[in-house]
Amino acid sequence: MNKLRIVLLLIFFCISLFSENRLKIDENFIEELVEKYDFDRDYLNEIFSTVSIQQRALQIYAPRPKKITNKKSSKKVYYWPKYKKIFITPYKVRAGALFVKKYKKVLWKAYEKYGVNPYIIAAIIGIESHYGKNTGKYKVLDTLSTLAFIPNRRNRFFKRELKEFLVFTKKTRFNPLNIKGSYAGAIGLGQFMPSSYNIFGVDFDNDGFCDPWNEKDAIGSIARYLKENGWVKDGIVAVRASYYGRRFDKLKTGYSKFYDLRKLKRFGIYPRESVDSNSKAALIKLENEEFDELWLAFKNFYVITRYNHSAYYAMAVYLLSKNIEKLSR
């Protein structure tokens, strides 16, 4: 009898654990997919019955309780060299040069069609997925369902991404149960969110459909994304600037505020390379422990931030691309 009780308790525990890790899907969401996008209701119920809660995603996006403290919190500075060390490595430069060599014709085809620098495309793929070696380990259906239906600060965004993901799989006939991506649901070599890939994805190898895990399609899709966000063919990305002092706080920095270069000279800010004095540029400050690096960032730098809204990210892409170009020549 005692053994039977233990077995029953174990079964009950397993059922409870299984149930707690399952997700309740909004019926209105399923209804919309059926009515608006012609999905089969039984198919949707079947795939959603497999969904498990993706805990890593919740750790990032779930609301955190506010800490009550009387102490003044000091701002934690994330210094540029630490970031740079992660994304601009000898391995990434070598792998980037090999990628450029292997896909040279495709990269230059993208340049001819969209005007986007081939080395920038290679750098983005290197940073996003290690040139295809790491496109994500989390089941995208689990991730997007978790973030769509468990309360978090971006529920509306992820509900849209879940819908776009299912539309993507319907269009391409990929099995949604087999697709893996980032902890936030980004997919492929370029780590596009599904909504972006549905808009900017390109069938660059002309095989009949857009495949984010295909190198040629990834190259074309990234080039199209940058072009449609304003990329200027053969335009400058960024130039290091000189200024007086070790810390810079004279003017507002950041990629959204542009200045006339002639005005900047009045503040003692000069480009270290020759640029058109009639140009406009943003000021990007990269903080080091002992000093600030100051850069003049032009339109193409801003375009890279449309891919990832971080000045550090855009600078890492640019500098990695220059290293890849140097090794490739």
Domain definitions of the chain by residue range = 23-62+105-232, 238-297
Task: Choose among 191, 209, 216: nearest CA to 138.
Answer: 191
Which DSSP category does 187 fall into? B
Handedness of CA 170, 176, 180, 181 (dihedral sign): positive
- Alpha carbon separation from 57 to 21, 142, 147, 180, 189 (Å, rounded): 14, 10, 7, 13, 20
Report residue 261's pLDDT band, with 50, 70 and 90 as the boundaries. Answer: very high
How far does CA 273 lie from the centroid of its chain?
A: 30
pTM to 2 decimal places: 0.90
Catalytic residue ranges: 128
What phi and psi, each to the nearest 5 degrees, are found at residue 241? Answer: -120, 150
Q: Residues 277-311: pLDDT tens digits?
A: 889 999 999 999 999 999 999 999 999 999 999 99
Q: How many whole angstroms separate alpha carbon 151 and alpha carbon 89?
A: 38
- CATH class (in words) of the domain with range 23-62+105-232: mainly alpha
Token reading at 77: 């500075």
Q: Residues 56-90: pLDDT tens digits?
A: 988 888 766 665 555 555 566 789 999 999 999 99
* pLDDT of 153: 86
Q: Which residues does 140 contact at the CB level (< 8 Å), separation at least 6?
A: 165, 176, 179, 180, 181, 185, 187, 194
Percent helix, strand and coil across the chain, each rounded to 5? Answer: 50, 10, 35
Torsion of CA 323, 303, 294, 254, to 10 degrees: -150
